[in-house]
Chain A
Amino acid sequence: AQKVTQAQTEISVVEKEDVTLDCVYETRDTTYYLFWYKQPPSGELVFLIRRNSFDEQNEISGRYSWNFQKSTSSFNFTITASQVVDSAVYFCALSGATDSWGKLQFGAGTQVVVTP
């Protein structure tokens, strides 16, 4: 069975602080995909990134960066110099590579609150 754990329920920061969201996953698949989605107050889930299990390179996109460590089954997400617009719920998700690809297994989400 697949499982995604986001242990942090809510993180509050002041603007310009960095914030790191933890994601730990469990899977028996040897090939799988990891995702991060953002859900702002408007409610629509916004795709941020996909990472393949065979690619452990870290990735940076603007103020966002992701650290994938297969050894610890973690796929953490850092927002650098946070802004008020980053306030949202962030979900980590996992899918298999074959017949289970279509079934995203989501974590419970982490609410990020950025205050001015």
Chain B
Amino acid sequence: GAGVSQSPSNKVTEKGKDVELRCDPISGHTALYWYRQSLGQGLEFLIYFQGNSAPDKSGLPSDRFSAERTGGSVSTLTIQRTQQEDSAVYLCASSPPDRVAQYFGPGTRLLVL
């Protein structure tokens, strides 16, 4: 079946602009996660959504970062007033109801000039 999809695959933006990154989880998966992968910081948890519960936002690095999940499916990660240190690969994952594992998408490579 189809895996997690993310768009765009690459995004180049100028410092100070806002960006939106999209994630489509695997059909039937109930939980959705965002991570960030950068050379300096490795793989970092950002936020996760589980069903109708309030999201766990404990990994968001600043209030410039926000995420929402509409209809329990698609999610959008928004970064406002981007900074150069936001440059990274943003990875989305989803997991089935039994939460055996998190299955990752291909990521969005963000470059802030």
Contacts and interface: CB of A to CB of B under 8 A. Distances in A.
Contacts, number: 47
Interface string B29-60: 00101010000001101001010000010110
Nearest to A108: B42
B56 A35 contact: no
Most-contacted residue by chain B among A42, A44, A46, A99 (CB, 10 A): A44
A37 B104 CA distance: 10
Contact of B89 (A43, A46, A104, A105): A43
A94 B48 CA distance: 16
Chain B at the A interface: mostly helix, strand, loop or mixed?
A: strand
A66 interface: no
A63 interface: no
B107 interface: yes
B17 interface: no
Given A50-B100, A103-B56, A44 B106 contact: yes
B91 interface: yes
B25 interface: no
Nearest to A101: B99
Contact of A103 (B59, B100, B104): B59
A102 B46 CA distance: 10
A86 to B, nearest CB: 19
A8 B89 CA distance: 23
Contacts of A106: 42-43
Interface string A27-49: 00000000101000011111100
20 contacts: A35-B101, A37-B104, A42-B106, A44-B105, A44-B106, A44-B107, A45-B91, A45-B104, A47-B102, A50-B100, A93-B43, A102-B31, A102-B33, A102-B50, A103-B48, A103-B58, A104-B35, A104-B43, A105-B45, A106-B43
